[in-house]
């Protein structure tokens, strides 16, 4: 019987699987930063994000490769990646949301729309006919952008399956950043902040 050398045995047992877990804390930080950027007239150009610059693409690739390649090996370890939010697609979506925010803010304040349980916008109460089309269009465009943003962030980080978690994190942040007087849904019930 062929003997396994001791060092080889140790190497085998020492192998770890690095699973890239959803970076909840980083996502929350990014969500706060993006929402602030949209609501507080902050710059969204790439250079403004140096302090939170994304994980470089090569690093993401390496993590992914490690994750895939070592997943068969015995023990596992948890690794939480950073979250990349710097891509042309994301900047484009953020620019659209930022441009839309002043109009939305006015309707948030009037109480004709609010944040629903999914972190999307919904009409709140009966929207006056005079502004109904504008409000509906804004809601549709904003909701499309929010969904696209979550998809783009998930894709930019090589994990399309993170979409739901990113959305859930953003949902909490939208409510957190809602200003006094705005409406949001808490467990399906409308509440005024």
Partner 1 sequence: MRIKQFLLAALLLFGSPVWAINNIQFQVETLDAQNWQLAGVALTLSELDSTPIKFSLSAKKLTLPAPLDALQFFAIQCQSFIWQEKNIRCKQGYAQLKSRLFGKQAFRFTLQIKNKRAVFKLSHLKIFGGNIKLTLQEKRGYWTAKLQAKKINLQKIQKFLALKTIDSVSGKGTVSAQLSGSMSQLEQAILSALISELSIQDATGKLASEALTLHSELKLKKQGKKWQWQIEQSLSKGAVYVEPVYLEIQKKQPISLTAAGSLDTIHKKINLSSAQLNHQSIAHAKAQAVIFYQDSLMLQQANIQFYADNLAAISSIYIAPFLEGKPFQDIILQGSLSAILAIENQALHQAHLNFNNLHVASQQQNLSIEQLGGTLYWNRLWEDKQASNLHWQTLNIKDIPFAATQLDFSLAAQQLQLLKPARLGLLDGTLSIEKFHFKSNPDDESAVTLRARLEQLSLSKLSEALHWQNTLSGTLSGYIPSVSYQQKKLTLEGGLKMQLFDGEIRISQLAASGLLTDFSQFYIDLEFENLDLNEVTKKFPVGRIQGRLSGFAHNVYLENWQPIGFYAWLGTPEEDSSVHKISHRAVRNIASLGGSSAADVISRGVLSWFDDFGYDRLGIGCYLHQGVCQMTGASAAREGYYLIKGGGIPSIDIIGFNTRVNWTTLVNRLKRITANNMVVEP
Rule CB under 8 A: which residues touch partner 1?
45-50, 53, 86, 88, 91-92, 95-96, 98-100, 123, 126-127, 129-130, 132-134, 136-138, 141
Q: How far is the CB of 139 from partner 1 (least distance, A)?
A: 10
**Judged by CB, which is closer to partner 1: 54, or 171?**
54
CB distance 121 to 140 below 8 Å: no
**How many helices and strands, by DSSP H and E, does the chain display?**
6, 6
3-state secondary structure of 150: helix
Closest to partner 1 by CB, 46 or 181: 46
Which residue, 121 or 175, is less far from partner 1 as judged by CB? 121
**Distance of alpha carbon 42 from alpha carbon 61, whole angstroms:** 30
- Encoding tokens for residue 184? 């949001």
Q: Cα 84 to chain center, whole Å?
A: 10
> In angstroms, what is the minimal distance from the CB of 127 to partner 1?
8
Query: From the CB of 178, what's the least distance to partner 1, in Å?
Result: 23
């Amino acid at each position: 019987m062929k003997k396994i050398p001791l060092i080889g045995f140790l190497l085998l047992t020492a192998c770890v699987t690095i699973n890239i877990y959803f970076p909840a804390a980083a996502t929350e930080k990014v969500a706060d930063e993006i929402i602030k950027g949209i609501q507080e007239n902050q710059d969204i150009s790439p250079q403004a994000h140096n302090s939170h610059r994304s994980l470089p693409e090569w690093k993401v690739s390496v993590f992914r490769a490690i994750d895939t390649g070592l997943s068969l090996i015995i023990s596992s370890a948890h690794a939480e990646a950073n979250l990349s939010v710097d891509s042309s697609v994301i900047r484009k979506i953020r620019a659209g949301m930022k441009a839309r925010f002043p109009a939305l803010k006015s309707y948030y304040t009037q109480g004709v729309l609010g944040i629903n349980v999914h972190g999307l916008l919904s009409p709140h109460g009966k929207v006056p006919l005079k502004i109904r089309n504008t409000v509906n269009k804004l809601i549709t465009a904003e909701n499309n952008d929010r969904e696209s943003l979550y998809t783009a962030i998930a894709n930019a980080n090589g994990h399309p399956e993170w979409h739901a978690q990113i959305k859930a994190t953003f949902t909490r942040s939208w409510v957190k950043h809602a200003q006094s007087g705005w409406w949001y849904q808490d467990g399906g019930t409308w509440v005024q902040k």
